[in-house]
Amino acid sequence: MNETLKNIKARYSCRDFAEQLPTNEQLAAITQAAIQSPSGMNRQFWHVIAVTNKALIAEMEKEGLDNLRKMDESSYQHLQSRGGTLFYHAPCMVFFAVKTAQPAGAELIDLGIIAQNTVLAATSLGLASLHCGFAAFVFAGNKNAHFKNKLKFPDGYECGMAVLLGYEKSPGIPHEPDPSKISFIQ
């Protein structure tokens, strides 16, 4: 198996991060891999924001949990049963701000690709990661402008999602792929 296939196989969703920060060199390499992503018509309707400010991450987590509780009670309860954190103590978050494409929704494909490039680059550097769709709840309440301002979103951009990055505190295992999800037609 080559290195790319090994990294794809090794990646898993980490929900227990250690305090140790990724280095600036690691973050530079990971964000560079992110913006190397393809996008429809090379529109690059994304902006990548790496956050390591502990106080800001804590403030965003509180707001995200508050909004989730008000807007999606069952997901909120699910998180409570898992330890009550939204960001699992991750010391670093990479946000992807996105601009709506035409046709609307097409930007979400680009978003998925850039997020996956990010986690695979992180895996290749020995870091743990998690795709965090719930990070969008940080922006779902009346502090939307406040957090967009803090994260310096470009004008007209909204939160797509975030990726959590760091070192695993306890080891996790990749999910078992289901071979019945593949067909070959010859």
Ligand X SMILES: Cc1cc2nc3c(=O)[nH]c(=O)nc-3n(C[C@H](O)[C@H](O)[C@H](O)COP(=O)(O)O)c2cc1C
Q: Which residues bind ligand X (CB under 6 A)?
A: 12-13, 15, 130-134, 174-175
Measured CA to CA, the distance from residue 186 to residue 165 in angstroms comes to 41
**DSSP SS3 for 147:** helix
Residue number with CB closer to ligand X (131 or 143): 131
Residue closer to ligand X (CB basis): 49 or 130: 130
| Least spacing, CB of residue 161 vs ligand X, in Å | 6
Q: Which is nearer to ligand X, 34 or 130 (by Cβ)?
A: 130
Q: Where are the alpha helices (DSSP H) in the chain?
A: 3-10, 24-35, 54-71, 73-81, 106-124, 144-150
Strands (E), 7-78: 46-51
Burial class (CB in 10 A: 0-12, 13-18, 19+), 125: middle
- We find the least distance from the C-beta atom of residue 122 to ligand X, in angstroms, to be 13
- CA–CA separation, 138 and 56 (whole Å): 11
Listed in sequence order, the residues at least 6 apart from 20 whose beta carbon sits closer than 8 Å to its beta carbon are 91, 166, 167
Between 134 and 153, name the residue whose CB sits nearer to ligand X.
134
The strand pairing partners of 94, in sequence order, are 50, 163
Closest contact distance (angstroms) between CB of 25 and ligand X is: 25
Q: Residue 49 or residue 93: which is nearer to ligand X going by CB?
A: 93
Q: How far is the CB of 165 from ligand X (least distance, A)?
A: 14
Q: How far is the CB of 28 from ligand X (least distance, A)?
A: 24
